[in-house]
Amino acid sequence: MFIRLLALFVLLPLVELALLIQIGRWIGLAWTLALVVATGFLGATLARRHGVRAWIAISQELQAGRMPASALADGLLILIGGIVLLTPGLLTDLFGFAMLVPVTRNAFKRRLRRRFERAVQRGDANITVLLLR
């Protein structure tokens, strides 16, 4: 777990920085900054649009008396995608956009479901429910 966190918070930003420096050399500083701002703006706009759709789907499922598991997973992945799109970097942007595109998000959702099912079968999954009053 420590290695994954190290990679996420140390190695990934270093790789992102190296990519941005290289792109800056290719297209110039102004265009590189414009690219970072544009992907952040586009990502925030798309995340909001898809997030609203996910919220509506969750509401519809609840009103129909069904557990909105798929819609909740969509909402969570859209939120994660939107957050990483707001961070500067090309790799995180690619991942963020992948979370906003339904086809790639559904593939990621299926993979997460399989991992969770295997954890449940092994007895490694723990779910904690907090009741707030």
Domain spans, the chain: 2-111
How many C-beta atoms lie closer than 10 Å to residue 132's C-beta?
A: 3
Look up the pTM and report it: 0.77
pLDDT of 128 strictly over 70: no
Q: How far apart are CA 80 and CA 86, in angstroms?
A: 10
Q: Mean pLDDT over all residues of the chain?
A: 86
pLDDT of residue 3: 84
> 70-110 pLDDT, tens per residue?
888 888 898 889 888 888 888 999 999 999 899 999 999 99
